[in-house]
């Protein structure tokens, strides 16, 4: 199992590398020209982060200000994304909704990363019965589709953005734990770790200074990949009505509200959904680039 994972990680992705490699001397401009999709992805994610941190910089509209006279108007120069059933500016609502969605996704990743890394580290480093038990538990968790696992946790915790984030994060622990464990097992037997132990370092020092940094690479790439998954999961749960409660704007719940007006006002569902899709796509593109980069370094 460890062997196969290791092989998969060591082997360069045959489909991606040829297109992604930047030839020869790389000035910034050349890098941009050589990888246009990556550039667009990075720019988009930067915009998303700006929208989450300082939404006022991207729009002067109030996301909660209703303007009944202008309700359900199609996108035009005044309202770039159109307006909703109360005449609220959809563009402002999407921009201001970014923070909630992004916060939830980041919280989910942090929970998954910390929880998964801990489980993986302990299992891989301690080994023996502890390893066996922990890995059997992750096997079982992986047998349950992660959306269902998230839904189970939401059932217990109740609704709300934070609970949704926790649920999505916990559901991703098992996957991260597995990768972390296989990396730790690979690194643990390396000569430099043996040397560190032989030099009289305490076990926790060996673990933190020598094993963790060398095992973290694939886990971090997975976490980057997890960003897209988390955005999708969080917005799905919000769409189902378990996340942000109205009138707070959130990407998934924006699509859900727009659903009632789908026959007449296409923009209410199409535009927020497109924003989600592009963000996930951009996140996955960056994650893939990180993966390629990491393999090239090694």
Partner 1 sequence: MTRYVLSRIGQALLVLWAAWTISFFVLYVLPSDPARIMVGPDATDVTAAQLDAIRHQYGLDQPVVVQYFQHLGSLFTGDLGRSIGVGRPVADVIGEAIAPTAQIALAGLVLAIVFGGGIAVLATWTRNRALGQFLLQLPPIGVAVPGFWFALLLVQWFSFGLHLFPAFGGEGPASVVLPAITLALPTGATIAQLLSKSLVQTLREPYVDTAYAKGAGRWRVQLRHALKNAALPALTVTGLIVGQLFSGTVVTETVFSRPGLGRVTATGVQQQDIPVVQGIVLLAAAIFVVVNLVVDLVYPLLDPRVVIAGSRRKLRDRDGATPGATPSVPGTTPSSTSEPTAVHA
**Minimum distance, C-beta of residue 61 to partner 1, in the bound complex (Å):** 23
Please report whether residue 15 would count as binding partner 1 according to CB under 8 A. yes
- Report the residue from 174, 206, 244, 289 that binds partner 1 according to the rule CB under 8 A: 174
Closest CB to partner 1 among 20 and 89? 20
Q: How many Cβ atoms sit within 10 Å of the Cβ of residue 253?
A: 28
**Three-state SS annotation for the chain:** CHHHHHHHHHCCCCCCHHHHCCCCCCCHHHHHHHCHHHHHHHHHHHHHHHHHHCHHHCCCCCCCCCCHHHCCCCCCCCCCCCECCCCCEHHHHHHHHHHHHHHHHHHHHHHHHHHHHHHHHHHHHHCHHHHHHHHHHHHHHHHCCHHHHHHHHHHHHCCCHHHHHHHHHHHCHHHHHHHHHHHHHHHHCCHHHHHHHHCCCCHHHHHHHHHHHHHHHHHHHHHHHHHHHHHHHHHHHHHCCCCCCCCCCCHHHHHHHHHHHCCCCCHHHHHHHHHHHHHHHHHHHHHHHHHHHHHHHC
Please report whether residue 259 would count as binding partner 1 according to CB under 8 A. yes
Please report whether residue 179 would count as binding partner 1 according to CB under 8 A. yes
**Minimum distance, C-beta of residue 204 to partner 1, in the bound complex (Å):** 26
**Minimum distance, C-beta of residue 209 to partner 1, in the bound complex (Å):** 24
d(CA 8, CA 281): 23
Closest CB to partner 1 among 51 and 173? 173
Q: How many residues interact with partner 1 (rule CB under 8 A)?
A: 76
| Binders of partner 1 in range 68-127 (CB under 8 A) | none
**Minimum distance, C-beta of residue 183 to partner 1, in the bound complex (Å):** 10
- Piece of 89-97, 124-132, 186-194, 253-261 that binds partner 1 (CB under 8 A): 253-261
- Piece of 26-34, 71-79, 91-99, 234-242 that binds partner 1 (CB under 8 A): 234-242
Closest CB to partner 1 among 61 and 181? 181
Spell out, one character per residue from 146 to 165, where the chain touches partner 1: x when CB under 8 A holds, - when not: xxxxxxxxxxxxx-------
Please report whether residue 239 would count as binding partner 1 according to CB under 8 A. yes
| Binders of partner 1 in range 209-228 (CB under 8 A) | 218, 221-222, 225, 228
| Binders of partner 1 in range 125-144 (CB under 8 A) | 136-144
């Amino acid at each position: 199992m460890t062997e196969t994972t290791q092989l998969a990680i060591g082997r360069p992705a045959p489909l991606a590398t040829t297109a992604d490699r930047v030839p020869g001397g790389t000035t910034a401009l050349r890098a941009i020209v050589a990888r246009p999709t990556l550039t667009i992805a990075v720019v988009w994610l930067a915009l998303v982060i700006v929208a989450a941190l300082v939404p006022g910089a991207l729009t002067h509209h109030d996301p909660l200000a209703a303007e009944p006279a202008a309700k359900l108007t199609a996108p035009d120069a005044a309202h770039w994304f159109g307006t909703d059933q109360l005449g609220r500016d959809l563009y402002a609502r999407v921009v201001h909704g970014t923070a909630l969605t992004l916060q939830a996704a980041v919280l989910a990743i942090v929970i998954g990363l910390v929880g998964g890394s801990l489980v993986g580290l302990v299992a891989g480093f301690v080994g023996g019965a502890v390893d066996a038990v922990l890995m059997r538990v992750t096997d079982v968790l992986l047998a349950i589709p992660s959306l269902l696992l998230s839904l189970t946790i939401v059932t217990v915790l109740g609704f709300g953005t934070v609970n949704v984030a926790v649920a999505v994060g916990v559901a991703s622990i098992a996957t991260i734990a597995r990768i972390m464990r296989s990396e730790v097992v690979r690194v643990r037997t390396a000569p430099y770790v043996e040397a560190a132990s032989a030099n009289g370092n305490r076990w926790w020092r060996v673990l933190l200074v020598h094993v963790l940094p060398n095992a973290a690479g694939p886990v971090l790439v997975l976490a980057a990949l997890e960003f897209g998954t988390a955005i999708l999961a969080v917005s799905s749960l919000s769409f189902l009505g378990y996340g942000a409660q109205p009138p707070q704007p959130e990407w998934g719940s924006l699509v859900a509200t727009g659903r009632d007006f789908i026959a007449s006002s296409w923009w209410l569902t199409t535009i927020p959904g497109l924003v989600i899709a592009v963000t996930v796509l951009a996140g996955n593109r960056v994650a893939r680039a990180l993966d390629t980069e990491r393999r090239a370094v090694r």
